[in-house]
Amino acid sequence: MLLVCSLAELPRGEGRRVDSVEPAVAVFHTEDGEVFAIDDTCTHQDASLADGWLEGCEVECPLHASRFDLRTGEVDAPPAKLGVRTHAVTVTDGDIYLDVAS
Ligand code: FES
């Protein structure tokens, strides 16, 4: 388990890129207060999904607006065709921990 940051450091509606793992992972805190982690790099081209826009449980890629479901990693809107991996995250004592899928 990797400590990402405290929950307070990742406000609702924002994402954070974790590049101490390879490939990088994006962790999101939704407006509803849930925390999700997916691969950070869009499967369409080389964009960081942590820089995208969160809406509900979806993130929209900042480059060409593909949308990925944070719960499943599946593509909800093209041009991306391939989904991204999801990773386990837990919040313990106010800190976000990431367990990268192998
Ligand atoms: S790089 Fe993400 S949709 Fe094109």
Q: What pLDDT, in 10s, does the model give residues 33-46? A: 999 999 999 999 99
Taking the whole predicted model, whether its pTM rises above 0.85 is answered as yes
- What's the mean pLDDT in 60-88? 98
- Cα 10 from Cα 30, distance rounded (Å): 10
Q: Identify the pLDDT of residue 60.
A: 98
Q: Cα(60) to centroid of ligand 1, in Å?
A: 9
84 lines ligand 1 (CB under 6 A): no
- Cα 17 from Cα 15, distance rounded (Å): 7
- Cα 64 from Cα 75, distance rounded (Å): 13
Helix/strand/coil (H, E, C) string of 41-64? ECCCCCCEHHHCEEECCEEECCCC
Pocket test for ligand 1, best of 39, 64, 75 (most atoms within 8 A of CB): 64
